[in-house]
Structure 1
Amino acid sequence: MAPIKSLVFLLLFLPVTFQGFAQAIDSTAADSSSVNRRKLYPVIVSEAAFYLAGMSYLQFIWYKDHERVPFHFYDDTKGYQQVDKFGHAFGAYVESYIGYKLLRNAGVPKGKALLYGGTLGLVLQTPIEVYDGLYEGWGFSVPDMVANAAGSAIVVGQELLFDEQVAKYKFSFSPSSYYSQANGYLGDSHLESLFLDYNAHTYWLSVPINKLALKKTVPDWASVAVGYSANGMFGEFENRRYYRGAYLPETERYRQYLLSLDIDWTRIKTDNKLLNAIFKGMFFIKLPFPALEVNSKGQVKGHWLYY
């Protein structure tokens, strides 16, 4: 399954992020031996409401025009040059990161926060995959489930190994040159292309330079990021040539591997509570920076700004 529904789910979930971080800026709560119920109950209620809203959206809106069929599987391992798998992992990572941080800021012990919050991405994404297996035109994807589990594992694994999120999993989007050539196949608006045009997606792992150098050489927030993207895609496994009465251009599908600079927003120190909340809520955003690209066509490119 392409991660369209996962991205919709994530956009619905983001208000919980900013509300939660705005209410839980004081990190000392995470070290408390007692649970702060005043912070915990709103988190539980908000996430439960989000979950019910998401399930209702899938059942009554997304699948309403699809016929229900016996449970079946769908192998999309090679789809979209695996960009969609990075998208699934990203969605699960963000949801797990949020769930874990909010529980810790409510004073929930680390072990329980990892169990109930760190696995939240996998918990939220699994019903989507099950629904896919029950409707015509979709199918339960084991590779998607693996990607979802990987996203949650990045959060849980780092907390167990390093007691922090050393590497942040980030996303950047820029409308691709293919969007204007697709006659609507990649979306009829830039907003739709956010969900349909995987040529425009880049996924990053961003690590503070000081963590790599093992000593303080630059500001703590200065980071380096490695990214993955792909281009030339007008279809999941192979390119379509015709759509809505028009021929689509012939393109070569290829992968992109990127190296760039970045900012770890969570490591920027400020006494302003509003800015602190905003920075914490921007943990998954990769800003445009110069980048070096190596692609599967054998090319090496430099970008003054890549996003």
Structure 2
Amino acid sequence: MPGDHGGVVPPVRYRSSDEDSARWLEFAFRPGDIVISTRSKSGTTWMQMICALLVFRTPDLSAPLNELSPWVDWLVEPADKVFARLEAQRHRRFVKTHTPLDGVVLDPRATYVVVARHPLDMAVSLYHQGANIDRDRLRELTGQPAAEPSPERAQPARPRPPLREWLLSWAASEADPREEMDSLPGVAWHLSDAWARRDQPNVVLVHYDDLSADLEGQMRRLADILGIEVPEGTWPALVQAATFDRMRARADELTPNPAGVLKDNAAFFRRGRSGAGREILGDDEWANYRARTQAMVPADLWAWLHREQAAG
């Protein structure tokens, strides 16, 4: 039952201005549940779509993706509304979280899918996504006070720093992973925690670059792990529906924007090229980033995460 965890140590609580992982204590699991745990801009919506295609075995979804696959710990939607919708679902459920696995209730009946991405590429996408968020609307929906009028606010808004400057600042951050989960320390902890659990039978790690390089192969792999049988003749349509171009064409249906937090649904599907983050850094800056991140995560995780940069 919700809130009863049999004496198990409760999960770590992660909180931000619009997320609270404590909601997981009220989540009533069912056998077969799928929990998609990722950092922002690491392939979350992509994996939700893949799971939808596998569960329903058709590209024709019965409702918008964010209704079929709610973001459990997002404060924009009241918890009772989210849980009522999940309780009413009769299909195999697949839900979204940006919380690391140590902050989510781990139920042996569920499968936890963690999608990882090169941190610098994730950060570049995060930078661009920042310009697409309506901050005033987000504050309104999460019950935060509106920004107070001031002489400073009467002036034109300060421009965002250039991408290179922002990325270097992001790579130098010393933020608390429990409070700034999209910081470099937050990304490192999220993936290190999942990596340590990768041998557990209900934990699956997927690399964003593998999805890009072999979408069908990764979808078939996931179907096998989840025990989902897909008729052979159905595969081409499912794989095509999970491509970037097809998903972007369905942006209004697939974008996680139920309350108008995003300014432009289509802009959410920005094609992020693997390796773009590394190209921004000079050799000395890359060396600094590499040394810092190699001290933050296990060596084998670093190599798996960074791919072609692993030996450099």
Short-chain TM bin: under 0.3
TM-score (norm: length of structure 2): 0.25
Higher relative contact order (CA 8 A, sep 6+): 2
TM-score (norm: length of structure 1): 0.25
Greater share of residues in strand: 1
